[in-house]
Chain A
Amino acid sequence: MRLAHRRAVAGATAAVAALTLAACGGNVAGGTGGTEASSEFPSGPVTLTVGQDAGGSTDLIARALADGMSGDLGVSVPVVNRAGANGAVATQEVAGKPADGSNLVLLNASLITITPLAVSEDEAVSLDDVDVLKGLSQDDYVLVASKKSGFEDLDDLRAASGEVTYGTTGVGTGSQLAQAVLFAQAGIEGTSVPFDSGSPALTAVVGDQVQVATIQLGEAKPQIDAGNVVPLLAFSAERNQFLPDVPTAVEEGYDVPVSQYRALAAPKGLPEDVKARLVESVDAAVAEDAYTSFNENNLLTPHEISGEEVVEEWTALAEKYQDLTAEYDISLAE
């Protein structure tokens, strides 16, 4: 727009044409999308709330998605960061808003599937409070070892049982759960050392303060590529496309599929036509080149399943984790 204005000084006609075209572009996109089902939706901006700080991977996903949705819906889709309690604050806030489609929230699966294992019941968030619209992507965890530790595979780690210190990205995270269950199943004894997030945990592995840690792939990849840490194991159910040579825990015979999934949700009770329109715009957004290359650049595996499938999958995972921790007598809250 600023460019168009600057041109206006030189040639007014060209500027008017450019502006008209730009305006039309917006309208056309909005018009074709909302044909029959929802003639009046969206009538205003659709706010997408993120329960994490700006700049993190959840926030980046929200912004990439909002870009595409805004183009399809023909209205602006501002991203609002409302960090707190691993996203519980944002989810509760959005769940309490009117179910008219103008408020959305980006959900992290760990908030539903793992956090309840670590915090008291009244702080946990349930999927019953929201309408899940669509699954988005999967962010895998990878177990990395420091170079000094000399570990190259899980057997090395098993051999060091008893003296292992392992870093986690915090209490109630997939990183903590994945390692606790893996260590219990593999009979490895180790001390869990929680860090605030992925970055300090990774730094601790690079500096050999802890021997291993489980980090989200997007964060760990640069250090893996630089040869500063050695990837031992991925916790995805299937081999990760970005780490084709690294075995998964499942392959090694340990039943700990842990990934970070993300999905889009709205307050409970959304009218069917509005819901359909929103899902349609998500589908349009994730099909765009900008979004697919965003996923690739951030090492995210697309996992675009329907809202019902998300609820099914996350509920099953929550139960599985509940059973696993009960079986091996693991307490995430120490």
Chain B
Amino acid sequence: MDNLQNVMAGFEVVLEPTNLLYCLVGVLIGMLIGVLPGLGPAATIAILLPLTYGIEPVTAIIMLAGIFYGAQYGGTITSVLLRLPGEASSVVTVLDGHALARQGKAGTALGIAAIGSFVGGTVAIVGLTFLAPVVASFALDFGPPEYAALALLGILLVSTIASGARVKALVAAALGLLLATVGRDAFTGTERFTFGSLDLADGIDFVPVAMGLFGLGEILYNLEERHRAVHAPGKVTNVWPSRSDLRESSGAVTRGSVLGFFLGILPGGGATIASMAAYAAEKKRAKDPSRFGKGAIEGVAGPETANNAAATSSFIPLLTLGIPANATMALMFGALLIQGITPGPQLVDQHPELFWGVVNSMYVGNILLLIMSIPLVGVFVRILRVRAAILAPITALITMIGAYTINNSVFDVLLVVVFGAVGYLMKKFGFEPGPLVLAFVLGSLLEESVRRSLLLFGGDPTGFVTRPISAVLLALFVVVAVWPLVQSARRRRPAQAPTPDREEASV
């Protein structure tokens, strides 16, 4: 089998010393920023993007991927020990993780989280290994109409399942769509919102936008919050969970792996949603739900497994279809573009060494993380003592220099500053930048695909529903769009809950 050969070749790529080193660097950085509240993987990747410019594509993506899943490990530590979630995806871990810590079982909680993360991550990589080529083989059937439907579904999912207020997410997504229209029209050459500037002729570049919103915006926002002094416990004992703990959490780990894997693939899905869904699922399944919040080990195992599985599986749509499932994947998209590689259906065929190198690096990275996560807990917690007043200017400086180096353009630096301000204000008023960034990326895909489709159909829009894949995607779109309305209607009139005719709605 050709694929098997490629998989093995991928391992060769990973085991090159440089790549191993960058994998280690990636997961270390990931863990580190996972521990630091406020600096998430998206921000870190945004800031580090320009640094990847000079390295080989495989190596760069291996490192960036390491940051993403490494952060899922790191976020747990502060959630458990300090009741301070380092990452959004570890917020629910606080509930039972910290309760366990207060009972003197911090080690158990961290141990289970590390094991769960490892299992979840590994299950997802195996899934990725087998599922990605299958998805990629369908990819040639993906024409403009399918991309249009997928982009539409993605934008809707991003703005509706995002954490936080739904209306605000929709507003942010709409702004992203609007920004995506800037630039020379790809079909007619007409200038749109460029104000005669050649810098805007190709539209607004994604990388400075992301660096501004996630990087600079995040730094500014965190500076405003006064950080209280952190008193980290010096030592954590008993990291190896007892046999009964393992038995109790094995079910949660299994369910978390599967749930996380599937939620990660969905556009708009990702680690945060997966961890929340897993927590809810565990609570629902438990014989005695009242234990949750008071130190239930499943409440740590489920979400921590799910967030790692999701972090890994969200690479599938990006690497096979070129569609980023969440904001971090949008940044990976940018990273690949910087390297001159367009993520899409041809990636597995044309760059097998990149594809399999990255996938297989995750096996290695997960093992590294498992080994590191327990003994290094004390070290990482101490990092929390670095004052924001020192950290913030340094990261801001790196961001600015980085923004310039990508395209040697002062205009890009200005963009970072502008979007940094926008990102700061958004955060301050409770808007998530994620939907904006994703809608920005998917917006041009949506517009171009719709117009391309209509050209192919000779102007007849029924083509969208007669092609099977796009029809299914559009039906899903309608279901997702209508579902909240149905739910609220049900809640209002529980006696006569109406079942909407979805078939009719989809036409």
Contacts and interface: CB of A to CB of B under 8 A. Distances in A.
B339 A200 contact: no
Contact of B143 (A83, A207, A332): A207
A210 B142 CA distance: 12
Contacts of B141: 207
A54 B53 CA distance: 9
B198 interface: yes
B339 A120 contact: no
Contacts of B448: 196
B455 A203 contact: no
B186 A165 contact: no
B18 interface: no
B184 A119 contact: yes
B462 interface: no
A268 to B, nearest CB: 19
B29 to A, nearest CB: 24
Interface stretch (A27-35, A66-74, A85-93, A321-329): A85-93
Contact of A210 (B341, B408, B456): B456
Contact of B339 (A55, A196, A203): A55
Name B's interface SS. Answer: loop
A84 B202 contact: yes
Nearest to B188: A334
A80 to B, nearest CB: 5
Given A82-B408, A122-B196, A199-B342, A209 B189 contact: no
B234 interface: no
A194 B187 contact: yes
Interface in A185-213: 191-197, 199-200, 203-204, 206-207, 209-210
A11 interface: no
Interface string B339-383: 111101110000000000000000000000000000000000000
A296 interface: no
A54 B340 contact: yes
Contact of B407 (A82, A171, A192, A203): A82
Contacts of B345: 203, 207
A297 B125 CA distance: 36
A295 interface: no
Nearest to A85: B201
A203 B339 CA distance: 20
Interface string B210-236: 000000000000000000000000000
A56 to B, nearest CB: 6
Contacts of A56: 340
Interface residues of A, number: 41
A81 interface: yes
Given A89-B199, A192-B455, A333-B190, A209 B144 contact: yes
Nearest to A165: B456
Given A89-B198, A193-B456, A204 B188 contact: no
Given A53-B340, A55-B340, A82 B456 contact: no
A132 B199 CA distance: 24
Given A171-B187, A194-B186, A196-B186, A204 B143 contact: yes
A194 B202 CA distance: 15
Contact of B186 (A88, A171, A209): A171
A223 to B, nearest CB: 9
B198 A88 contact: yes
Contacts of B199: 84, 89
Contacts of B185: 171
Contacts of A53: 337, 340
A85 B198 contact: yes
B238 interface: no
B140 interface: yes
A26 interface: no
Interface of A: 53-56, 59, 80-85, 88-89, 92, 118-120, 122-123, 165, 170-172, 191-197, 199-200, 203-204, 206-207, 209-210, 332-334
Given A56-B340, A206-B140, 18 more contacts: A54-B53, A83-B202, A83-B407, A84-B199, A84-B407, A119-B184, A170-B186, A171-B186, A193-B144, A194-B186, A194-B187, A203-B140, A203-B346, A204-B143, A204-B144, A207-B141, A207-B142, A209-B143
8 contacts: A83-B202, A83-B407, A84-B407, A89-B198, A89-B199, A119-B184, A171-B185, A194-B452
